[in-house]
Amino acid sequence: MAFLELRDIKTHFPVKKGLMIQRVTDTVKAVDGITLDIAQGEILGLVGESGCGKSTLSRTIMQLIPATSGSVLLEEQDLSALAPSEVRKRRLDFQMIFQDPYASLNPRMTVYSTLAEAVSQRHPGLKGAAMEKKITNLMETVGLDQRFMKKYPHEFSGGQRQRIAIARALAPEPKLIIADEPVSALDVSIQSQILNLLLELRKDLGLTMIFISHDLSVVRYIADNIAVMHKGTIVEYGEAEEVFNHAKHEYTKKLLQAIPRIQQSV
């Protein structure tokens, strides 16, 4: 039985024109009929170029954007059918890591305040020494020294800020993490550290993950299965190595051909 089920998800946006009286002239089909099953503990790599609908799909799963039609089922519960108040409660079980950690962190809040706010969602009565111990453990989990907990986001490097964002996502003790281009803004050496951290977290915490990227080589490293997205639909799906070695769709082949390669001179 799948842990997360996407059933014919469509997320369409009407295009309106007119000043006083607006009328719908077109429809943008950002996500157009996606069906996927994700097993517990799996890392699914969702790949495609900018504008293909990856981020819209991730926000639809998170219930940040309502689906036009279809169902998102987490542990057999239809999230799309829940009232907003129930979605907020259930969202503790599925969290998101955004592309730009600096933009997603409140610059006026210390690391301690940021993580404490997230921890309190799951443990509203946790305070004082117990809260500090919880935050210390979170920081250690993502490879940050507890001495940094009173610092602000601007005092960290990009890689450190992304670790803080990951710690914040882990704070409510979720079962599912959606990582939307979490390493694309980082240097290559830092990218590998974050990817290895995510793999360790999957192993240690039993997390299920959707890892979104435009870079197939990055997804190959971290994902069990790959879904290739193009113009709002999934055009290819399979095990990571199978997709890399035996791609069937022309769009996937073009993505593979676009991966930079170093040619050695003779």
Alpha-carbon distances, residue 148 vs 77, 156, 159, 162 (angstroms):
39, 9, 14, 14
Whether 20 is covered by a domain: the verdict is no
Q: pLDDT band for position 227 (50/70/90)?
A: very high
Q: Does residue 49 lie within any of the structural domains? A: yes
Q: Do residues 111 and 148 make contact, with C-beta atoms less than 8 angstroms apart?
A: yes
Enumerate the β-bridge partners of residue 7: 71
- Residue 187 located in a structural domain: yes
Q: Is residue 250 part of a domain?
A: yes
- State pTM to two decimals: 0.89
Does 22 map to a domain?
A: no
Tally of structural domains, the chain = 1
Q: List pLDDT tens digits, range 106-163.
A: 999 999 999 999 999 999 999 999 999 999 999 999 999 999 999 999 999 888 999 9
pLDDT score of 217 more than 60? yes
Q: Has residue 262 got a pLDDT over 70?
A: no
For residue 265, tell me if it sits in a domain.
no
Asked if 183 and 191 touch (Cβ cutoff 8 Å), the reply is yes
The mean-pLDDT minimum among 22-31, 57-66, 138-147, 241-250 falls in 22-31
Q: Could you tell me the CATH number of the domain that includes residue 44?
A: 3.40.50.300
CA distances from 200 to 38, 119, 193, 254, 261 (A): 19, 21, 11, 31, 28
Residue 253 belongs to some domain of the structure: yes
Domain encompassing residue 54 = 4-15+28-257
Which pLDDT score is estimated for 191?
Answer: 87
How far apart are alpha carbons 128 and 210 in whole angstroms? 34
How many Cβ atoms are within 10 Å of 232's Cβ, its own excluded?
Answer: 23
Residue for token digits 């079962």? 175
Quickly count: other Cβ atoms within 10 Å of residue 186's Cβ: 20
The average pLDDT across 47-64 equals 93
